Chain A
Amino acid sequence: MVYLDYAATTPTYPEAAGAMRPFQAETFGNPSGAHAAARAAKTALEEAREQIATALGAEPSEIVFTGGGTEADNLAVKGAARAARDAGRGDGVVTTTFEHKGVLAPCDRLSRDGFRVTRVRVDSDGIVDLDALEAALDDRTVVVSVMLVNNEVGTIQPLADVAGLVRARAPHAVLHTDAVQAVPWLDVAEASAAADLVSVSAHKFGGPKGVGALVRRGDVPIEPLIEGGGQEWGLRSGTVNVAGAVGMAEALRVTSRRRVEEVARIRPLRDRLAAGLAERVSGCFVNGDPARKVAGNCHVGFPGVEAETLLVALDRDGLCAAAGSSCTSGATEPSHVLEAMGVPRDAALASIRLSLGYASTGADVDTALVLIPRAVEQLRPAVSASR
């Protein structure tokens, strides 16, 4: 099997799986308790918190464990907006048109709840329009959410510039960034330093599914979504997923240690994949500015081919890739990201995302360069004949 869907999820690092194992078995204590079993779990949880804080450039007290990236996004966007409105600081929420649905859906919710929500346009390269962003900001803006790396086309957003505009134009606003896709590729501590709130998700960097974190710098006020026993500074009640937190910390440690060399190894593989497809498939085009993408992202289109059909053909050949954003039903929905970038609908429906990661090899690229052109060739006549 050739797995080219690292942006969807990554295989768990053996180191992370190993680190988690005791906490799925003998070290079972509830970290909130006051006895030996509890202390063992609490110690592991706090060590994990410290490791994660260091890697993300935060204090341990600034790490809130969540059930994943989407929960972190929800907690940041809804939590900060509601807390700010309750404090009378304003009602404006500003985001972009091509955020992950973990941000867009909470923004829709806030809009229904009476917030003024502005979704700022992005350009055809897949970069937020800073002029439009500036125009959307005012002194009643309470939350600005701009992702660090787009999940579909992999483009890196100019977060420092965004932060500069926010500080100048919207002094009361909290800046959130969804950094879920950034961890394997960027030094998130540095790249997100200007943000008040940062979302990450363990399974995107070799950790387990079902655990993530929100970095909350400097006591930014947040209203919790989940209330109960007051765990995680009262921001996320419920017994913490100790094994998940330990696995996440270990995966982040491994990722941080290998990141520079991995990026240097994977970028040429991705470039060879993109160049090889361009050479072998007529009309092949790339979505998102190649110069401003993370090293693992190859988002390409093949005119005259339906991505949905192509993915089935590739799956039958043992190649895993993705298109659009998969909803829970498994149906391919037309990509809101490509639509936001102004990619014509036909081109969007002909586009697939190939995403590489830490276990990708040159042999994977070689195989993909055989399978994809062959599948496109096979599907093209049938499609054009029916049009």
Chain B
Amino acid sequence: MTASPTRVLVAMSGGVDSSVAAALLSEAGHDVTGVTLKLWGGESDSGCCSAADVEDARRVAAQLDIPHYVFNFADEFDSRVVGPYVDAYAGGRTPNPCVECNRSIKFGRLLERAEALGFDAVATGHHARVSRDATGRWQLLRGSDLAKDQSYVLYMLGQPELSRTLLPVGELTKTQVREHASSLGLRTAAKAESMDVCFITRGGREEFVSARAGASPGAVVDTDGATIGRHDGVTRFTIGQRRGVGVATGERQYVVDLDAATATVTLGRRDDLLRDAVELRDLRFVDGVPGPTDLLDVQVRAHGAPVPGRLDGACVRFERAQPRVAPGQVVALYDGDMLLGGGIAT
């Protein structure tokens, strides 16, 4: 919030965070306009784009006395988020659709449209902080409320995006956000958080993916390649997932490998999951590539504790072996609270 753009387009999901983001910007004197993205035409019950959520966003905008629009990005959302999500599971990977939505929709399509309409910046309700260093370079810092920090799903933001991004609630704790919403009498103040993938319906991920990708039954094997069972489809599995107890050994069993081409699921012991390194694709850096000797804080899950590692080309080498990162998951690189960049595990 070091810059002072005059015209801000706030992405309002109908949740409390983006409601307060709009409120804070409005209170700070910006020319604020709210927009709710219609992302999903299908059925969903946890969705961020149900009619009720749009109504909540519209009502909050009215309470704040700012204009509000709805942008229909359902086509792009389907082709750039939902389609790749299904393809990833069908390919034995574990996608993070929120990351793709941020990349392609919120900080892609929306930012582009905001610019076309003459807005200086886009704001969201993410818990992360945009800042500027002494030389004028943009930085992305973890949110003040570390338990709610969302910088991980914003790993792809570079200088061009950050220069036009405002994340006002990143300065607040979730409790402060709710208190602010209550003090303004916003109807979203006590609204429950959405925790699930917004387009997944009551049937759950497995049902959704197999309905769109088809089932791919195959063999369950042990780490020696011996068949120990059958499964209904690789889309049901994620690397690192616990799968019962080994018959012979009595040890807990984990999914240690997925081969979509042969529909083979490999189970093994926890130790079989350990890796010294992870290879990344879609590498993005906030402001330049970290040096190969720099010791980085590597985060491999949205709310996991960072572990030490170094970036070597497109490969992150851990100081100590770590459970395998499922292909498709984000690996975000930090220096303390400052995001440096990241990529997608292959």
Contacts of A308 in B (CB 8 A): 71-72
B54 contacts A383, CB within 8 Å?
A: no
Give the residue name and chain of the B residue nearest to A326 (CB).
Answer: B70
Asked if B116 contacts A330 (CB within 8 A), the reply is: no
Contact indicator per residue, chain B 86-123, by CB within 8 Å of chain A (1) or not (0): 00000000000000000000000000110111100000
Residue pair A332, B115 in contact (C-beta under 8 Å): no
Query: Which B residues are CB-close (under 8 A) to A309?
Result: 113, 116-117
CB of B38 closer than 8 Å to a CB of A: yes
In residues 217-262 of chain B, which contact A (Cβ within 8 Å)? none
Closest B residue to A381 by beta carbon equals B116
> A55 CB to closest chain B CB, in angstroms?
36
Closest B residue to A379 using CB positions: B116
Expressed in whole angstroms, the Cα–Cα distance for A316 and B117 within the complex equals 9
Produce 1/0 per residue, B61-96, CB < 8 A to A. 000000111111000000000000000000000000
- Is there a chain B Cβ closer than 8 Å to A168's Cβ? no
For B54, B55, B69, the residue with the greatest tally of chain A CB atoms inside 10 Å of its CB is: B69
Which of B70, B72, B113 neighbours the largest number of chain A CB atoms within 10 Å of its CB?
Answer: B72
**CB atoms of B51 and A328 under 8 A apart:** yes
**Shortest Cβ gap from B95 to chain A (Å):** 25
For chain A residues 312-340, which have a beta carbon within 8 Å of chain B? 312-313, 315-316, 328-333
**A312 and B54 within 8 A (CB):** no
B269 contacts partner chain A, Cβ-Cβ < 8 Å? no
Q: Is the CB of B54 within 8 A of A330?
A: yes
Contact check, B116 vs A383: say whether CB atoms are below 8 A apart: yes
Contact A331 B38 (CB under 8 A): yes
- B72:A315 contact, CB within 8 angstroms: no
- Contact between chains at B115 and A330 (CB < 8 Å): no
Q: How far is the CA of A309 from the CA of B70 in the complex (A)?
A: 10
In whole Å, how far is B57's beta carbon from the nearest beta carbon of chain A?
10
Q: Is B58's CB within 8 Å of the partner chain A?
A: yes
Secondary structure class of chain A's binding surface, majority of residues: helix
> Is there a chain B Cβ closer than 8 Å to A382's Cβ?
yes
- Which residue of B is nearest A382, CB measured? B116
Q: A332 to B35, alpha carbons, bound, how many Å?
A: 13
Contact B69 A312 (CB under 8 A): yes
Q: Which residue of B lies closest to A329 (CB)?
A: B54
The reply to whether A329 and B38 contact each other, CB–CB distance below 8 Å, is yes
Residues of B within 8 A of A332 (CB): 70, 72
- Which of B58, B67, B71 has the largest number of chain A CB atoms within 10 A? B71
Q: In whole angstroms, what is the CA distance A55 to B116 when docked?
A: 48
**Per-residue interface assignment for chain B, residues 31 to 72, with 1 indicating a CB less than 8 Å from any chain A CB and 0 otherwise:** 000001010000000000001001100100000000111111
Cα of A316 to Cα of B9 in the assembled complex, Å:
13
A309→B109 CA distance, assembly (Å): 12
Residues of A within 8 A of B118 (CB): 378
Report yes or no: A313 in contact with B54, Cβ–Cβ below 8 A: no
Q: Are A331 and B72 in contact (CB under 8 A)?
A: yes
Closest CB in chain B relative to A256 CB, distance in Å:
37
Bound form: Cα–Cα A313–B55 in Å? 22
Chain B residues lying within 8 Å of A379, measured Cβ to Cβ, are 116-117
Interface size on B, residues (CB 8 A): 18
**In whole angstroms, what is the CA distance A312 to B70 when docked?**
10
> What's the minimum C-beta distance from A311 to chain B, rounded to whole angstroms?
8
Which B residues touch A312, using CB under 8 A? 69, 117
Chain A residues whose CB sits within 8 angstroms of the CB of B67 once the complex forms: 315-316
Q: Are A382 and B115 in contact (CB under 8 A)?
A: yes
Q: Which residues of A contact B36 (CB under 8 A)?
A: 329-330
Q: Mark B306-343, 1 if CB is under 8 A from A, else 0.
A: 00000000000000000000000000000000000000
* Shortest beta-carbon distance from B9 to chain A in Å: 9
Contacts of B117 in A (CB 8 A): 309, 312-313, 316, 379
Cβ contact within 8 Å between B71 and A331: yes
CB neighbours of A329 from chain B (8 A): 36, 38, 51, 54-55, 70
Q: Output the least CB separation between A218 and chain B (Å).
A: 40
Q: How far is the CA of A306 from the CA of B109 in the complex (A)?
A: 12
In this complex, what residue of A is CB-closest to B108?
A: A386
Establish whether residues A331 and B112, one from each chain, have CB atoms under 8 Å apart when the complex forms.
no
Best-surrounded residue of B58, B113, B118 (most CB of chain A within 10 A): B113
Name the interface residues of A163-189: CB closer than 8 Å to any CB of B.
Answer: none
Instruction: Decide if B116 touches A333 in the complex (CB within 8 Å).
Output: no
- B72→A382 contact, CB < 8 A: no
* A338-359 vs B, Cβ < 8 Å mask (1 yes, 0 no): 0000000000000000000000
Q: CB within 8 A of A382: which of B68, B69, B70, B112?
A: B112
In the complex, what residues of A have CB within 8 A of residue B68's CB?
330
Decide: B70 and A331 in contact? CB cutoff 8 A: yes
In the bound assembly, the distance between CA atoms of A382 and B117 in angstroms comes to: 9
In whole Å, how far is B79's beta carbon from the nearest beta carbon of chain A? Answer: 13
Measured in the bound complex, the distance between the Cα atoms of B3 and A226 in whole Å is: 58
Please give the distance in Å from B211's CB to the nearest CB on chain A. 21
Contact assessment for B69 and A330 in the assembled complex, using a CB-CB cutoff below 8 Å: yes
Report Cα–Cα, A368/B38, bound state, in Å: 28
Do the beta carbons of B58 and A330 come within 8 Å of each other?
yes
A253 to B15, alpha carbons, bound, how many Å? 47
Give every chain B residue within 8 A of A386 (Cβ-Cβ). Answer: 112
State in angstroms the CA–CA spacing of A382 and B112 once bound together.
8
Interface residues of A in 93-134 (CB under 8 A from B): none
- Give A379 to B113 CA distance when docked, in angstroms: 9
Residues of A with C-beta under 8 A to B69: 312, 315, 330
Complex Cα–Cα for A332 and B72 (A): 6
Bound together, the chains give a CA A386 to CA B69 distance in angstroms of 22
Least Cβ distance of A287 to chain B in Å? 19
CB distance from A251 to the nearest CB of B (A): 28
Within the complex, the shortest CB–CB distance from A88 to chain B, in Å, comes to 37
5 pairs of residues in contact across A and B, judged by CB atoms under 8 Å: A316-B67, A331-B54, A331-B72, A332-B72, A382-B115
9 more A-B residue pairs beyond the given contacts A378-B116, A379-B116, A383-B116, with a C-beta to C-beta distance below 8 A = A306-B113, A308-B71, A313-B117, A315-B67, A315-B69, A329-B36, A329-B51, A382-B112, A382-B116
| A-B complex: 6 closest residue pairs judged by Cβ atoms | A382-B116, A331-B38, A330-B70, A331-B70, A331-B72, A329-B54
